[in-house]
Amino acid sequence: MNFLKSKKLIAVILITLFAAMVAFAQEQGQGEQKEREVDVVKNRDGSYSTTRFDEAERPDDSYLAKDHAFDIVPYQQRRNLEYLYHLKIIVANFSDQGWEEDYQKCYDGYKKAMHYFYRKNYIYARLDFDLNLKDLKELLRKVADFYKEQATDMLDECVDLVLAAHMDEVRRSDPEKNTALFKAQNRLRIAYNLFDVAENMVIDKHYYPAVIQFRMAKAYCVRMMEDFAKPDELDELKEKYKVIKADSMNRIYKPAPEKVPVPQED
């Protein structure tokens, strides 16, 4: 009898503790939500009150402003997400550049804007997407400068290879090798054209397309180097440019697994 009473008492204590933990978690979650939303509150008339701005700087929340924000915010959301995704790959591939903190700022800014977007608060979603875009562009500017430096070194190396090929009398007299040289020169021209376009985009502060153009220029350089490499040099060349090749295809570099799983038939 005493044993049964003890079991019931323990069960009651456990249930009470579980209920208290659930209540505490809910209270904490509500507290975090209030802390996150306290800077903007929607009023009954559809306007917004905010601690982020005084009345001289508070964004226009008239009907026309909301209608315009409703039209533009979906585009902002897709554009910023595209930039953020590409930056995720770039930051992972070139972790030695120390861009993680900048990327996290961009990620958090996008997340904050999405909070307003999903709650259909398009006025403040538009505002925060604009702020997020500034952070994204600043990081893209840093990436563009880094890519430009990489592409410049690779183009110089390619020019040296082409010049050395022109000075090789054996290659000049071999029609097959002459064709390969012509192909390499065409790739080098394309790489330089892409590089020039990217430079102009940087001048105009169009950093995202500039990054894409620099990527393509580097990809053409790698392909040209691989065509020129001797069989005993190819493995070393691939090792040297493995991250750049993966990055040019918008992939995070990872070594090949030791064993590839074979699908089993049912």
pLDDT in tens, the chain (266 residues): 455 555 555 555 555 555 555 455 555 554 444 445 457 666 555 566 566 655 645 666 777 878 888 899 999 999 999 999 999 999 999 999 999 999 999 999 999 999 999 988 898 899 999 999 999 999 999 999 999 999 999 999 999 988 887 777 666 666 666 677 788 889 999 999 999 999 999 999 999 999 999 999 999 999 998 887 778 888 898 999 999 999 999 999 988 777 766 777 75
Query: Which amino acid would we find at residue 203?
Result: I
Yes or no: say if 110 and 161 are a contact pair by the CB < 8 Å rule.
Answer: no
**pTM score:** 0.76
Cα separation, 113 vs 217, whole angstroms:
34
The reported pLDDT for the residue numbered 106 is: 97
Which residues, 6+ apart, have CB-to-CB distance to 195 below 8 Å?
A: 148, 151, 152, 155, 213, 214, 217
Cα separation, 75 vs 50, whole angstroms:
25
Residue 70 DSSP symbol: H
Phi/psi for 49 (5° steps) reads -105, 145
Cα separation, 257 vs 156, whole angstroms:
34
Cα separation, 226 vs 73, whole angstroms:
45
The reported pLDDT for the residue numbered 185 is: 87
Phi/psi for 256 (5° steps) reads -65, 140
Cα separation, 206 vs 140, whole angstroms:
9
Yes or no: say if 84 and 109 are a contact pair by the CB < 8 Å rule.
Answer: no
CA neighbor of 162 nearest in space, from 134, 183, 135:
183
In a 3-state reduction of DSSP, which class is residue 107?
helix
Q: Give, in order, the Cα–Cα distances in Å from 36 to each of 24, 31, 93, 146.
A: 18, 9, 33, 36
The reported pLDDT for the residue numbered 179 is: 74
CA neighbor of 134 nearest in space, from 36, 56, 52, 207:
207
3-state secondary structure 171-209: HHHCHHHHHHHHHHHHHHHHHHHHHHHHHHHHHCCCHHH
